């Protein structure tokens, strides 16, 4: 049974990621001037501390927009009870991106687009923020893709959320 479908216009933004950044173990600085981590001579070593690099303001604005559109869509579905829904769901996401003028790629795989899994994570988190789901762990099946938008079509994401069935 389908719960809700909605379209969110605008450039989709990926979720941030954990990235190992070598930090000087003596000074806790990735650009230490006295140790070898920062090019210095003192012999300090990086410990590969993992640092979360978020998507910045662009991701925050995108997540707010997805949550807002999702929340509006949830409220229009009256026969399913009041969200947030607590049961297992299937989620499908179809991302469309505006093709850059000088891009020779047939698919949106250029670095500025982002990884598919990080795009999906951003949408799942927004489904929770928009009060449609209690937690994104409710997603038990997912499907998605990313493509170039046809000329004249806006960038964005089409999201479908359904109750999960065996």
User: Please, which residues bridge with residue 144 across strands?
Assistant: 93
- Please give the residue that has the higher pLDDT: either 44 or 150: 150
| Structure confidence at residue 135 (pLDDT) | 92
Say which DSSP state 80 is in: T
Round to whole Å and give the CA distance between 107 and 95.
Answer: 12
Give the model confidence (pLDDT) of 32-90 as tens digits. 555 544 444 444 444 444 444 566 788 888 889 999 998 888 878 755 566 677 889 99
CA distances from 90 to 55, 67, 77, 98, 166 (A): 25, 17, 17, 27, 11
Other Cβ atoms closer than 10 A to 39: 10
- Please give the residue that has the higher pLDDT: either 80 or 158: 158
Q: Are 76 and 130 contacting, i.e. CB atoms less than 8 angstroms apart?
A: no
Q: Is the pLDDT of residue 13 over 80?
A: yes
Tell me the pLDDT of the chain averaged across its residues.
Answer: 80
Q: Are 123 and 159 contacting, i.e. CB atoms less than 8 angstroms apart?
A: yes
| Structure confidence at residue 149 (pLDDT) | 95
Q: How many residues does the chain have?
A: 166
| Structure confidence at residue 55 (pLDDT) | 65
Q: Kindly state the helix (H) or strand (E) to which residue 69 belongs, with its residue range.
A: helix 56-76
Q: Is the pLDDT of residue 145 over 60?
A: yes
Domains, the chain: 2-14+80-163 (3.30.1330)
CA 28 to chain centre: 29
Give the model confidence (pLDDT) of 80-139 as tens digits. 566 677 889 999 999 999 999 888 889 999 988 989 999 999 999 999 988 888 999 999
């Amino acid at each position: 049974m389908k719960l809700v479908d909605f379209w969110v216009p605008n450039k989709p933004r990926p979720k941030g990621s954990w990235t190992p950044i070598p930090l000087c173990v003596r000074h806790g600085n990735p650009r230490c001037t006295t140790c070898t981590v920062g090019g210095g001579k003192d012999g300090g070593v990086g410990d590969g501390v993992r640092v979360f690099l978020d998507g910045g303001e662009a991701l925050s604005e995108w997540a707010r927009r997805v949550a807002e559109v999702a929340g509006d869509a949830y409220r229009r579905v009256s026969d399913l009870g009041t969200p947030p829904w607590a049961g297992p769901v299937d989620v499908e996401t179809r991302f469309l991106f505006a093709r850059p003028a000088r891009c020779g790629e047939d698919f949106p795989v250029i670095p500025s687009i982002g990884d598919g899994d990080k795009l999906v994570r951003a949408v799942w988190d927004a489904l929770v923020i928009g009060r449609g789901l209690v937690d994104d762990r409710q997603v038990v099946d997912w499907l998605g893709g990313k493509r170039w938008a046809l000329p004249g079509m806006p960038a964005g994401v089409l999201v479908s959320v359904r109750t999960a069935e065996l």
